[in-house]
Structures are given as C-alpha cells and as structure tokens.
Amino acid sequence: MQTAEDLFYAEGIRAVGVERLLEVSGVGRASFYRHFASKDDLVETVLTERDQQWRQALAEGVAARGDHPLAVFDFLAERFARADYRGCAFINAMAEVGDADAAVYRLARAHKGAVTEYLAGLLEKAGHRPAAVLAAQLMLLVDGALVTVLRERSAEPALRAKAIAAALLR
C-alpha cells in the first residue's frame, strides 16, 4: 500500500503499472491479486486511505492553530513547503482519469466534498454564515492554491489564498 501510494503520488497513476509496483514493493503477483482484483482496485484503496489520513492531518493541523477557518491555509502553506510536495493527490487523480463516472474520479470528488463539509463546520463554529456558501468559496481558494503551488513552487499561493479568504470572511 505504501509503495503504491508513494509511486502513484510521485509518478502518476497511469505511469505506474502493476509490474513496477510488484518490483518496487517486493510483493509477489499472487499475493497482489489475492488482495486486489486489479490495479484500479488498489488505486481506490490507496485514495480511500489517503483521504482519511489527509483529512485527519488537516483537522489536527487546524486544531493546533486554534480551529479558525483561516488556519486551513496555514496548514496548506506548511505542506507546500515540503520538498516532496507534488500537488493534491485527488486533483491529480481527477486530471489523470478524466472520466467523471470512474470510481477513482468519484472518490476524489467525494474527498473534495468532505473537505468542503469540514470547512462549513469550521465556519459555522466560528459564527460565519451562510456557512455552506462560504465553505464552497473557501474550497475554491483551497483548490486554486493547490494547483498554483505546482507552478510557483512555494508556500505563497496558500498565503495569498488566506488573505483573500480573510477579506471574504470580513
């Protein structure tokens, strides 16, 4: 699982075949197929687990910063500063798959929906209304920062998005 997540994130879902996964992980073909019906099944499992881990890290990171909605952008800035940051795994997956009916695409879309709901909860708790509308707007800023960082290769997109979000919340 870890090898698959690392390779998919670093090289892309389509670029990594089952042979490469088996070679790098040291897992045998029979063992792989005993656990996963196909590479697609593995991708779905990896993204499901990554969704849970990422949202937990986000919630913990925001809580450590006082549970304020704008802390989301500080959390992102910290992530963007990592040398191994290669973009949002879920945006990357949607871009690679392209087919909105594909299971991987639906998982990535569900992740974005769950993060938007999390934002709505933060906004509601902080007294910002209408929380659902504001959450969708903040999510647009989050996704914009997640994509812009790939071009700029710095934490700056998260900080600019935070400034825009602060103005929106005022």
* Structural domain that includes position 144: 47-169
CA distance 135 to 156: 21
Within a domain: residue 89?
A: yes
- The CATH number for 108's domain is 1.10.357.10
For residues 101-106, average pLDDT = 96
Q: Within 10 A of 127 (CB to CB), how many other CB atoms are there?
A: 7
pLDDT of residue 29: 93
pLDDT band at 24 (very low <50, low <70, confident <90, very high): very high
Within a domain: residue 19?
A: no
Which ranges in 65-155 belong to alpha helices (H)?
Answer: 71-80, 89-97, 103-125, 131-152
pLDDT band at 45 (very low <50, low <70, confident <90, very high): very high
Within a domain: residue 23?
A: no
pLDDT of residue 169: 97
pLDDT band at 51 (very low <50, low <70, confident <90, very high): very high
pLDDT band at 168 (very low <50, low <70, confident <90, very high): very high
User: CA 132 → CA 62, 96, 121, 124, distances in Å?
Assistant: 19, 29, 9, 9
Within a domain: residue 37?
A: no
Within a domain: residue 52?
A: yes
Within a domain: residue 11?
A: no
Number of structural domains the chain divides into: 1
Within a domain: residue 81?
A: yes
User: CA 158 → CA 74, 125, 148, 162, distances in Å?
Assistant: 7, 22, 9, 6
Within a domain: residue 87?
A: yes
Q: Which three-class secondary structure state does DSSP give residue 118?
A: helix
For residues 77-94, average pLDDT = 94
CA distance 78 to 85: 10
pLDDT of residue 13: 93
Percent of the chain with pLDDT over 70: 100
